[in-house]
């Protein structure tokens, strides 16, 4: 019987992932939204896709959720009318979302494992006027949800816009709001706030970016101000900082600052600026306490750099991406490590067509994912990935080409380096094809591991685990320590001899990425009726000498399968010889087990395990894998022993091929012998 269970959850178990995870994209799968706004990925690999869902009459803001290892769920309508939800992952596996609805800003929590938002709360609106457009959101390291939105107000011949920041504390306290920039109505003047940007990290570090336009309706002159605001963790939001501006007639155009901050408050803002036909990139780097001066240019090596994106890794590395002309239109990425911006890397596209629109995502560690759309008819999606601190490989096609239209892609990266990309376009007469594909960059995770702590010889013990891979299917392999193996998530095994066995379980995804863990099973012989049970513990039996096997051999190493069956269990009495006979001598009586395994071709994975050849592992090194066919159990006597073997296990005939037989003997006290092995071959 099984006397205990250890490692019911992974807890203290040691997991060993692949040394170098292989990466790859899944086939594209359909998205049920009419228009996709963004995809985000949670800490456990859950994907949330936001957009509009068309119910046959009206578009509704909605979300679709895909759990790790599962399928994309059906669209869930968030509100009947309003803005598309903006969503950000929280550290506990849930998601924070915010949207406008009937003149209010609404926030909600999509719980871990859930499919839609719950616990809806209205954010206080501190500005005069009504929230307008979409909300921008971010989540800090404590799980506090931050939202940023524009409010508008109109009057006679004038209008104005204001910017507000909201906080929904992770503690469950009531949401709060504050004005970032308040602009009152001025006669004959239109003031607009555009393109709000928000990034959060650590205990509440924030950096905000936006643009304010002021137009005199009498003169049609427009003044543009690009601004930032900083909030250190635990501090107050600072006053707006103007980092660039344009004046009437100066021939200057600028981009809205793109912002990023990490857990320690390292902050980055980057934007483009064009003057007299020359475009340059500008950046401000520093912390949420203070940013440094304008750095211009960020990098060199290309012309017309524009449409930048920003990220900051946990080690403080500042990362920027942008489109530039490098012979042709290309995506470039540069890094700032505290001294200067290094030379930019140009991402090489897979095809000859230059990329158009693109999206950029970074994991906290600094892994990067860039998704692009190239061409105009046909057109297709590509993506390039860079591990943390490393360069990009060549861009890889994602999904199938579209016919004559491609929309803007979106990409997201999780903390494990796994990612997702959404694409849309026209195909086969359908003008609104929306798809997504997954990027697999990590090995499976082992959950709910159950290994028995104790067991008795001859009684099957149960083993189970729930492996989860974010994007691909998984095979599970068990090694029980005594030479026996099994495949599957729930298996059983009966040990023939008493000992402490180390059990290993390995989960491998279709890319060959593997995760392993081990546990120990203490196996003892069944207790005897007189209380003198066997085993190697303190049982009153002083025998601690293992049986010694000598002269392990066979009459024939090459033979054909005989017609008669070989009994799986038998006494010492002799039977008519069939096939071959295994001979061995023992120093003392004991339970003998002859485990028969077939030699089969295999491929060696990065985890060193030899597995069945597949198309995915065809280029890996060849190896010989052993498949357990069965075990012959006999009662061995002191001295010479013989086991007749017809080439059958019970009535099951072994196929022609090469095999190995391993002999193990356990005496009455539970002492286990060494395990000699013989090779033999079965022919037709």
167 vs 618, higher pLDDT: 167
Same domain, 535 and 502: yes
Domain stops at, among 541, 559, 580:
541
In DSSP notation, 246-298 reads E-TTS-EEEPPPEEEE-TT-EEEEEEEEEETTEEEEEEEEEESS-B---BS-S
Please report, rounded to a whole number, the percentage of residues in the chain having pLDDT higher than 70: 91
Residue 565 lies in a domain: yes
Structure tokens at 639: 């001295």
Tell me what the mean pLDDT of segment 456-485 comes to: 93
d(CA 141, CA 166): 16
pLDDT at 195 over 60: yes
d(CA 134, CA 156): 26
Residue 510 lies in a domain: yes
Same domain, 578 and 509: no
Q: How far is CA 207 from CA 14, 198, 258, in A?
A: 39, 6, 10
Same domain, 515 and 532: yes
Domain stops at, among 489, 512, 541:
541
For residue 307, what pLDDT band results from cuts at 50, 70 and 90?
very high
- Do the beta carbons of residue 116 and residue 95 sit within 8 Å? no
Same domain, 566 and 626: yes
Residue 220 lies in a domain: no
pLDDT digits (tens, 9 = 90+) for 67-79: 999 999 999 999 8
What does pLDDT average to over the chain? Answer: 87
Domain stops at, among 541, 567, 599:
541
Residue 237 lies in a domain: no
Question: What's the domain count of the chain?
Answer: 2
Same domain, 533 and 563: no
Nearest to 84 by CA among 33, 135, 157: 135
In terms of average pLDDT, the best of 52-56, 310-314, 560-564 is 310-314
What is residue 150's predicted lDDT score, i.e. its pLDDT? 93
d(CA 571, CA 633): 9
| Domain at 502, CATH number | 2.60.40.10
Residue 658 lies in a domain: yes
Residue showing tokens 């992952």: 89
Same domain, 674 and 556: yes
Tell me what the mean pLDDT of segment 8-18 comes to: 41
Same domain, 574 and 667: yes
pLDDT digits (tens, 9 = 90+) for 209-258: 999 999 988 888 999 999 999 999 999 999 999 999 999 888 899 999 99
For residue 578, what pLDDT band results from cuts at 50, 70 and 90?
low
For residue 37, what pLDDT band results from cuts at 50, 70 and 90?
confident
pLDDT digits (tens, 9 = 90+) for 493-523: 999 888 999 999 999 999 999 999 999 999 9
d(CA 504, CA 481): 8
Domain limits at 465? 1-18+443-541
Between CA 481 and CA 489, with CA 484 as vertex, the angle to 5 degrees is 90
Tell me what the mean pLDDT of segment 157-172 comes to: 90
pLDDT at 587 over 50: yes
Same domain, 595 and 644: yes
Same domain, 587 and 507: no
| Domain at 637, CATH number | 2.60.40
Same domain, 556 and 648: yes
Same domain, 495 and 582: no
Same domain, 505 and 556: no
Residue 278 lies in a domain: no
239 vs 406, higher pLDDT: 239
Residue 345 lies in a domain: no
Provide the whole-model pTM: 0.75
For residue 393, what pLDDT band results from cuts at 50, 70 and 90?
confident
Tell me what the mean pLDDT of segment 148-158 comes to: 83
For residue 172, what pLDDT band results from cuts at 50, 70 and 90?
very high
Residue 123 lies in a domain: no
């Amino acid at each position: 019987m099984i006397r205990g269970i250890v490692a019911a959850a992974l807890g203290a178990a040691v997991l060993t992932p692949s040394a170098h995870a292989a990466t790859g994209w899944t086939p594209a799968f359909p998205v049920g939204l009419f228009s996709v706004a963004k995809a985000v990925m949670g800490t456990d690999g859950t994907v949330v896709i936001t957009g509009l869902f068309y119910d046959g009459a009206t578009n509704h803001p909605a979300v679709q959720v895909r759990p790790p290892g599962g399928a994309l769920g059906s669209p869930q309508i968030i509100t009947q009318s309003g803005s598309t939800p903006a969503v950000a992952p929280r550290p506990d596996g849930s998601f924070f979302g915010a949207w406008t609805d009937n003149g209010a800003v609404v926030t909600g929590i999509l719980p871990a494992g859930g499919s839609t938002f719950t616990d809806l709360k209205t954010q206080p609106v501190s500005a005069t006027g009504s929230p307008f457009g979409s909300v921008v959101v971010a989540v800090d390291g404590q799980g506090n949800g931050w939202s940023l939105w524009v409010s508008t107000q109109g009057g006679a011949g004038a209008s104005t816009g204001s910017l507000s920041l909201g906080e929904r504390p992770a503690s469950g306290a009531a949401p709060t709001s504050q004005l970032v920039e308040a602009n009152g109505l001025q006669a004959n003047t239109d003031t607009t706030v555009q393109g709000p940007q928000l990034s959060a990290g650590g205990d509440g570090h924030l950096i905000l970016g936006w643009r304010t336009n002021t137009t005199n309706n009498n003169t049609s002159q427009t003044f543009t101000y690009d601004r930032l605001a900083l909030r250190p963790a635990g501090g107050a939001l600072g006053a707006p900082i103007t980092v660039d501006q344009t004046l009437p007639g100066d021939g200057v155009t600028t981009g809205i600052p793109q912002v990023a901050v990490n857990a320690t408050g390292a902050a980055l803002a980057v934007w483009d600026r064009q003057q007299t036909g020359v475009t340059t990139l500008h950046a401000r780097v520093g912390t949420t306490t203070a940013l440094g001066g304008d750095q211009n240019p960020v990098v060199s090596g290309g012309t017309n750099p524009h449409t930048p994106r920003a990220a900051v890794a946990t080690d403080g590395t500042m990362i920027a991406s942008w489109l530039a002309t490098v012979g042709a239109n290309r995506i470039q990425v540069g890094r700032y490590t505290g001294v200067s911006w290094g030379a930019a890397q140009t991402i090489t596209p897979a095809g000859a067509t230059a990329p158009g629109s693109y999206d950029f995502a970074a994991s906290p560690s600094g892994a990067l994912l860039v998704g692009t759309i190239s061409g105009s008819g046909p057109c297709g999606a590509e993506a390039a990935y860079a591990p943390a601190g490393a360069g990009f490989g060549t861009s890889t096609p994602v999904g199938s080409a579209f016919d004559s239209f491609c929309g803007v892609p979106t990409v997201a990266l999780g903390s494990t380096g796994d990612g997702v990309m959404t694409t849309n376009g026209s195909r086969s007469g359908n003008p609104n094809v929306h798809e997504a594909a997954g990027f697999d960059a990590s090995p499976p995770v082992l959950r709910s591991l159950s290994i028995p702590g104790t067991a008795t010889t001859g009684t099957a013990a149960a083993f189970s685990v729930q492996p989860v891979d974010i994007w691909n299917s998984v095979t599970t392999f068990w090694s029980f320590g005594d030479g026996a193996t099994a495949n599957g998530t729930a298996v059983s095994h009966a040990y023939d001899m008493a000992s402490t066995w180390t059990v290993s379980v390995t989960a491998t995804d279709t890319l060959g990425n593997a995760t392993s863990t081990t546990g120990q099973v203490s196996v003892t012989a069944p207790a005897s009726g007189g209380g003198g049970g066997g085993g190697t513990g303190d049982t009153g039996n002083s025998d601690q000498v293992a049986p010694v096997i000598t002269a392990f051999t066979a009459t024939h190493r090459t033979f054909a399968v005989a017609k008669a069956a070989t009994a799986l269990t038998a006494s010492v009495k002799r039977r008519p010889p069939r096939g071959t006979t295994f001979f061995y001598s023992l120093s003392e009586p004991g339970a003998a087990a002859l485990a028969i395994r077939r030699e089969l071709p295999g491929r060696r994975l990065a985890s060193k395990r030899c597995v069945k050849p597949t198309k995915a592992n065809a280029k890996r090194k060849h190896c010989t894998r052993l498949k357990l066919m069965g075990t012959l159990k006999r009662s061995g006597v002191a001295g010479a022993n013989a086991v007749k073997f017809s080439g059958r296990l019970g009535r099951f005939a072994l196929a022609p091929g090469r095999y190995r037989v391993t002999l193990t003997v356990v005496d009455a006290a539970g002492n286990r012998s060494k395990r000699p092995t013989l090779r033999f071959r079965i022919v037709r």
